[in-house]
Amino acid sequence: MNAFLNKQADGKVMVDKVFKAAVKAREAKLQYGDDAVVDATLGTLFDEEGTFVAFDSVWGVYEGIDKIQKAKYAASIQGNPRFREAVYNWLFGEIDEEIKCEILATPGGAGAISSTIKNILNPGETVIKPSQGWGPYKTMAKEYGVTLTDYNLFKDGCFDIEDFKSTLSNVMKLQGKVLVIINDPCHNPTGYTMSSDEWDQVISFVNNLSKEGPVVILNDIAYVDFNTAGSSWKQHFKKYKTLNENAMAIIAFSTSKTLTAYGARAGAAVCITKNDNELQKFINAGIYSARSIWSTVNNSAMELFADVTMIEENKTLYLKEKQKYVELIKDRANIFVTEANAVGLDIYPFREGFFVTVKIQDDSEKEALNLRLQEKNIFTVEVDGGLRIAICSVPKRKLIGLAQRIKDVL
């Protein structure tokens, strides 16, 4: 008998490791009580009482949005003009130069990453991603028949620029074009943030490589607003102005973490290149893809972002509330990372952000080790090369002593 689904769709099954681990943690909490369980699975912010954080300074503003505005279609497939202006100001507002770009509203960062992969590469071509990375990069690539290859992320505790260079050069030789994902700052799952010098080396290499063919850097900044340097980190975007004609940067921005608005599904693909013709083609293709897949982005989520970030009084309250959680995560990280170092628990280089990852060299052992941790009521997520601890969702009191407990099991 013929299958109903086409060849590409037949057999597709989404296995969500985070969701699976979170369900197990929830069951353990029901059985043993909340205090007995360390649930480090979810990449969303929880406070010290274990309550999901939804910023008052955001959701209070949402209450004030008129019901007609919430019900209406968005004003444009590219994204409401006011939303696009807000995204520009949020990312580039403190930069003293104009950043020539095109902005496409997308359903979260996921929409920006997915549509970029789709429109940059042909099926059969290869996207380059970090050796440790967000799982859905693989799902998205496969969805478009695109294969993946990794650059090794770390060497001697820093960004492995040599492997980055050789991986990109090899792919350029094979397909005459490069699309590379860089998830920075606050990398998921390791919590690494590249230094300005490491970025300079990346940009300089990309400029050289672009003499051989087009190079696109896809900068996934999902956690940008939880970096400890605050908005000054965004000066980084100025570097994209130095890219050659044959290079392009696409920033995947998301309001999910920025506003604690994960379910609202708003974000943007922000394209920067000197090449006017390619810039126009990128936005044309993006709008076309939007219309064919998600149509328009959530109208009230776009209004919400504009209202929170462009109305001064709202912005002040929001920044104050958010900063409290940036500090909280920093405190949590200090506890876990300091103890990990003290007890000799091997973690990937950590700087800041929602996650820390314990290194498991032998990938085949990872599942068994994770099960043993689960027997001790410690729930983590298996990622490439390790087990991810979402410090964004674990209160400080549960992080104290956790590194030793994990070390004992491993």
Shortest distance, position 256 Cβ to ligand PLP, whole Å = 3
Q: Which stretch binds ligand PLP (CB under 6 A): 29-37, 107-115, 151-159, 393-401?
A: 107-115
Alpha carbons 385 and 148: distance in angstroms, whole number = 16
| DSSP conformation class of 46 | B
Alpha carbons 299 and 104: distance in angstroms, whole number = 14
Strands (E), 185-235: 215-220
Q: Which is nearer to ligand PLP, 108 or 191 (CB)?
A: 108
Ranges within 261-290 binding ligand PLP (CB under 6 A): 262, 267
Q: Which is nearer to ligand PLP, 262 or 294 (CB)?
A: 262
Q: Which stretch binds ligand PLP (CB under 6 A): 102-110, 167-175, 303-311, 377-385?
A: 102-110
- C-alpha distances (whole Å) from 78 to each of 46, 75, 205, 332 are 33, 9, 32, 39
Alpha carbons 203 and 87: distance in angstroms, whole number = 23
Q: Which stretch binds ligand PLP (CB under 6 A): 103-111, 227-235, 273-281, 374-382?
A: 103-111
- Interface mask (CB under 6 A) for ligand PLP, residues 31-50, using x and -? ------------x-------
Which residues make Cβ contacts (< 8 Å) with residue 21, sequence separation at least 6?
Answer: 41, 370, 379, 380, 381, 382
Q: Which stretch binds ligand PLP (CB under 6 A): 106-114, 198-206, 365-373, 382-390?
A: 106-114
Alpha carbons 175 and 170: distance in angstroms, whole number = 9
Shortest distance, position 220 Cβ to ligand PLP, whole Å = 5
Ranges within 166-185 binding ligand PLP (CB under 6 A): 183
Decide the pairing of beta strands 215-220 and 178-183: parallel
Count the residues of the shown chain that bind ligand PLP, applying the rule CB under 6 A.
13
Q: Which is nearer to ligand PLP, 220 or 384 (CB)?
A: 220
Three-class DSSP category at 87: helix
Shortest distance, position 368 Cβ to ligand PLP, whole Å = 26
Shortest distance, position 126 Cβ to ligand PLP, whole Å = 20
Q: Does 78 bind ligand PLP (CB under 6 A)?
A: no
Neighbours of 131 (CB within 10 A): 15
Q: Does 254 bind ligand PLP (CB under 6 A)?
A: yes
Shortest distance, position 297 Cβ to ligand PLP, whole Å = 11
Q: Which is nearer to ligand PLP, 219 or 246 (CB)?
A: 219
Ranges within 109-168 binding ligand PLP (CB under 6 A): 109-110, 134
- C-alpha distances (whole Å) from 84 to each of 226, 230, 266 are 21, 21, 11
Q: Does 220 bind ligand PLP (CB under 6 A)?
A: yes
- Tell me which residue has its CB nearest to ligand PLP: 108
Q: Which is nearer to ligand PLP, 326 or 409 (CB)?
A: 326
Which residues make Cβ contacts (< 8 Å) with residue 314, sequence separation at least 6?
Answer: 57, 61, 307, 308
Q: Which is nearer to ligand PLP, 298 or 377 (CB)?
A: 298
Q: Does 370 bind ligand PLP (CB under 6 A)?
A: no
Alpha carbons 91 and 84: distance in angstroms, whole number = 11
In the structure encoding, which two tokens stand for residue 228, read together? 């400890």
Q: Which is nearer to ligand PLP, 209 or 217 (CB)?
A: 217
Alpha carbons 310 and 90: distance in angstroms, whole number = 9
Q: Which of 87, 91, 101, 108 binds ligand PLP (CB under 6 A)?
A: 108
Ranges within 186-205 binding ligand PLP (CB under 6 A): 188
Q: Compute the radius of gyration of the chain from its Cα atoms.
A: 21
For residue 96, count CB atoms less than 10 angstroms from its CB and return exposed for 0-12, middle for 13-18, buried for 19 or more: exposed
Shortest distance, position 312 Cβ to ligand PLP, whole Å = 26
Q: Which stretch binds ligand PLP (CB under 6 A): 66-74, 108-116, 119-127, 235-243?
A: 108-116
Shortest distance, position 140 Cβ to ligand PLP, whole Å = 10
- C-alpha distances (whole Å) from 237 to each of 158, 243, 247 are 21, 11, 14
Alpha helices per DSSP H over 121-264 = 136-143, 161-175, 196-209, 255-258
Q: Which of 80, 116, 190, 256 binds ligand PLP (CB under 6 A)?
A: 256
Which residues would be at the binding site for ligand PLP (CB under 6 A)? Answer: 43, 108-110, 134, 183, 188, 220, 222, 254, 256, 262, 267
